[in-house]
Amino acid sequence: MRIGKFFALLLLPATLALYGCSNSNNNEAISPSTPSVTIANLNILHGFDCDPPAPAEGDQCRVQERVALLTEHLIAAGCPDLVTLQEVINAEFAPTAQGQAVESILLLIEAELPDLAAACGFTYQMVYEPLLTVAIAEIDGELLLSRYPVIQTGTKVLHGALYNEITGALVFARHVLHARIDHPSGEVDVYTTHLASGSDFATSICDAEFCPMECDSEDTYRACQAEQLALYVEQTRGFNNLALITGDFNAVPASTEYLSMTSRGWLDSHQVAEQDECDSNTGSGCTSGRNSSAEDLENPALNVGRRIDYIFVALPQDNSACIASVAGALSGSYEISEAGLFAAEPNPFSPRCGSPPNPMCWVSDHSGNQAQVTCTP
């Protein structure tokens, strides 16, 4: 995600917010035993870097169509209990750039909730907490949708945040969104983030003067952010809660960032489910590599070559404390029962896709992840 060209955009005021939606049907259609936690994760692509759209195509690489396509994928995936998204633009922070109005992905997703409710039989609660009180467009916000009640939320700013030198106001920050969910199998702590890319000093050395105390002075910015994320999870998750850590890490398996998660015993759901590792030659098992352009998003070819998006699973400290029956009669332990990629095939809901008037092929320049963690008696 490139951010440099946005720093000169108009500064706008805004407030922190938690967007909640009623959920009167949350307990419908739950299995009477072995309740599972299901989750999907995707970097949805803000679209600032897309080619200038033609009037009929909408903004940000046909973003309205892309969000509608996301809805279709979620329904086809069985309406996951949890959905985590990155690069979500908040309308309150959306100025115009290059004469074109920037569309709010937040509002587009909110507008899809009734269609999701009609298909799923419940209404998702939306959690979105923008950090910026005076800033350019919130171009990299994290968002969470939950089928079940949200007990509490929180955010953490990660290393490398940019501040206005005159006012001291936060201008841009990588951060973590946290929500605790009251799931039938027990409380679940969910974290989602988007770690630094090359455009915001990801591989620059932290150095002693500016490095946070929890990081090594020889860490890169992104490695430091991963360590901060892991520590935040350890400090805020419930002792006997399942924790799910998702997002776009901009780092491949075996990298320092990846090992910050797995060295703590947290499980890479893709790997535990014995899914094929990313093959850069074919794109199989990969999540990133498409260009953020209309040309790539309208092309049915995979055009991906790295796996940098993850769902990490941190089991409870006492993994015999989950509720294996909705009635609460059985205790159980969590296990990753299914995992794989999400929205990883070109528009399967249409016989063809491509440039207008054909439907859009891809939701994003990324393919996402999905996983199912089951509380087994």
Residue 51: predicted pLDDT: 59
Going residue by residue through the chain, which has 377 residues, state the pLDDT in tens, using 9 for 90 and above. Answer: 444 333 333 223 332 333 333 333 333 333 445 789 999 999 999 887 775 554 444 468 899 999 999 999 999 999 999 999 999 988 665 544 444 567 889 999 999 999 999 999 999 999 998 776 544 446 678 999 999 999 999 999 999 888 778 877 777 889 999 999 999 999 999 999 999 998 888 999 987 778 898 898 889 999 999 999 999 999 999 989 999 999 999 999 999 999 999 999 999 999 999 999 999 999 999 999 999 888 999 999 999 999 999 999 999 988 888 998 877 778 899 999 999 999 999 999 999 999 999 999 999 999 999 999 999 98
Residue 140: predicted pLDDT: 78
Residue 344: predicted pLDDT: 97
In a domain, 121, yes or no: yes
Residue 59: predicted pLDDT: 64
In a domain, 24, yes or no: no
Q: Is 31 left (phi over 0), alpha (psi -120 to 50) or beta?
A: beta
Of 334, 175, 321, 336, whose CA–CA distance to 268 is shortest?
A: 336
In the chain, the amino acid numbered 79 is C
Q: Is the pTM of this model over 0.75?
A: yes
Helix 63-76 × helix 105-120 angle, to 10°: 30
In the chain, the amino acid numbered 283 is G
In a domain, 18, yes or no: no
In a domain, 102, yes or no: yes
Q: Is 88 exposed, middle or buried (0-12, 13-18, 19+ CB in 10 A)?
A: buried
User: What CATH number has the domain bearing residue 240?
Assistant: 3.60.10.10
In a domain, 22, yes or no: no
In a domain, 275, yes or no: yes
**φ/ψ (deg, to 5) at 150:** -90, 120
Report d(CA 343, CA 288) in Å as an integer: 12
In a domain, 12, yes or no: no
How many domains does the chain fold into?
1
Of 251, 272, 275, 255, whose CA–CA distance to 340 is shortest?
A: 275
Which residue range(s) make up the domain with 330? 31-376
- The count of residues in the chain is 377
Residue 96: predicted pLDDT: 44
In a domain, 50, yes or no: yes
